[in-house]
A and B are shown apart, each in its own frame.
Chain A
Amino acid sequence: MRDLNKEQLELQNPEPCLVKVQLFEGPLDLLLHLIKKNEVDIYDIPIAKITEQYIEYLEFMEVLNLQFAGEYLVIAAELSLVKSKMLLPKPVIEEEEEDPRAELVRRLIEYQVYKDAATDLVSRDVLGRDVFKREYIDTSFELSEEVELIPVDLWSLIEAFREFYKRRSYLWAEEISIEAESVSIDDKIEHVMMRLQDNRQLKFEELFDDCSSKFDFVITFLALLELARTENVDVVQDSPESAILITYSGEAHSGSF
């Protein structure tokens, strides 16, 4: 390890940039890899050996300047715990004592089940890779050329919201229950985006269809403002008196994941 460290450090830039590469899907994946590599029985994992290799691996990732998440350390701690339990002198056998490794093995096997299921899924004839279907262009939402849409300015939008908010205020006039809302603006933005992707276009008022509280109304409106600011949506109307329309304007959002 030491020599490698030195060599690797020399290769590094003076200002190392952190690279996020997923060499393994996660700590369990790494463990499964080590079990396979060492050709050991999953029901009889040589914990000391595997733990050592696991930690070596983490060290190596550090040397390579790869970021690894805290989850790797959680499993490292778990491994060390199991290792120490294995080292403890066994008490006089009274009952069938559970192997300290049992829980870890159960998790590894469960994870492997789903890894295999994922492999099975992707080995099917996948749409967009092996098979294709008719690409249909839905024209029903394409507005006719003649209608000149005008962008709605911020004040008109706020005015529209104020009016709408007043009209709907009866909804929560009697509201007494206090509920801790867990929805953040980000969640709401996500939610509004999903609705717009489904519908491509919504009327301003439709946006609030599923709002049940004052808080919900306000946060939905803030989400709309944010989406308009980041140009993920267009806010338009075909005349100053007509309904305000919210249209989805592309995939700019996908980059953030």
Chain B
Amino acid sequence: MDLSDIKKAIESIIFISDQPVSVDKLSLAFPNVDRSQLRKCLKELVEEWGKFNRGFLLSEIAGGFHFRTDPRYSEDISNYNKKVKKFRLSRPALEVTAIIAYKQPVTRVEIESIRGVDSSGVINVLLERRVVEIKGRKEVIGKPFLYGTTAEFLEVFGLKSLNDLPTLKELDEITQNLEPSITPIPEINESTI
């Protein structure tokens, strides 16, 4: 089996897969092929599918490779298939997801101290959606559960890995954000005189 064959074989495996295909999983299917070769094939496939300019793309997601549709056609897909799995997370659910993603492993109390509001219901929803999972228990009184994100989280938000998460905004940006959108007429501030 030469490399171009292997490449096509990998492509067909990804084609039938409902989950991102990792190099680890591929190396089980191709025990005699070097992992670096597998990676090379994957890299070429990603490039080629990008150039084809088709309705779907080969993307690196959640530690693997997967075919996903071009976002430009999301509406057409939804119109065609009403039963397609819809993404639905409320604003509070997104907030909790963000906190868990960046602070994991994190307890419910820690999440609630940031949000200032009870979050158990939201956490349950996220657990049910498999966006987050229980990673263990914290060795403090009461041994509370520690929550972290799942591979599904990476898939939902199109991330290669947790390192792919955008860095949290710096304080400057945040305060800028909080400043009024329309700059008021500068006032003379007595305290600065």
Contact = CB atoms under 8 A, between A and B. Distances in A.
Interface stretch (B2-10, B30-38, B46-54, B120-128): B120-128
Interface residues of B, number: 54
Contact of A132 (B74, B124, B127): B74
Interface string B67-88: 1111100100100000011110
Contacts of A133: 18, 66-69, 155
Given A27-B117, A118-B94, A118-B95, A128 B87 contact: yes
A190 interface: yes
A98 interface: no
Given A25-B115, A109-B171, A132-B68, A257 B180 contact: no
Contacts of A36: 178, 180
Interface string B115-158: 11110010011011010000000000011000000000001111
A32 interface: yes
Interface in A208-257: 253-254, 257
Given A110-B114, A121-B98, A131 B169 contact: no
Interface string A83-115: 000000000000000000000000101111111
A9 B17 CA distance: 59
A26 B115 contact: yes
B104 to A, nearest CB: 13
Contacts of B94: 118-119, 121-122
Contacts of A126: 87, 156-158
B99 interface: yes
Contacts of B168: 113, 116-117
A55 interface: no
Contacts of A140: none
Nearest to B111: A114
A113 B116 contact: no
B84 A129 contact: no
Q: Which of B84, B92, B94, B173 has the most CB of A within 10 A?
A: B94
Given A112-B174, A112-B178, A257-B124, A130 B118 contact: no
A22 B121 CA distance: 13
A170 interface: no
Interface residues of A, number: 53
Residue from A28, A120, A136 whose CB has the most chain B CB atoms within 10 Å: A120
A116 B85 contact: no
B163 interface: no
Given A25-B91, A42-B178, A114 B102 contact: yes
Interface of B: 17-18, 66-71, 74, 77, 84-87, 89, 91-92, 94-95, 97-99, 101-102, 114-118, 121, 124-125, 127-128, 130, 142-143, 155-159, 166, 168-169, 171, 173-175, 177-180, 184
Interface of A: 22, 25-28, 32, 35-36, 39, 41-43, 69, 71, 74-75, 107, 109-122, 124-136, 138, 182, 190, 193-194, 197, 253-254, 257
15 contacts: A26-B115, A75-B116, A113-B168, A113-B169, A114-B102, A114-B115, A117-B98, A117-B169, A122-B89, A125-B158, A128-B86, A130-B71, A132-B84, A133-B66, A197-B128
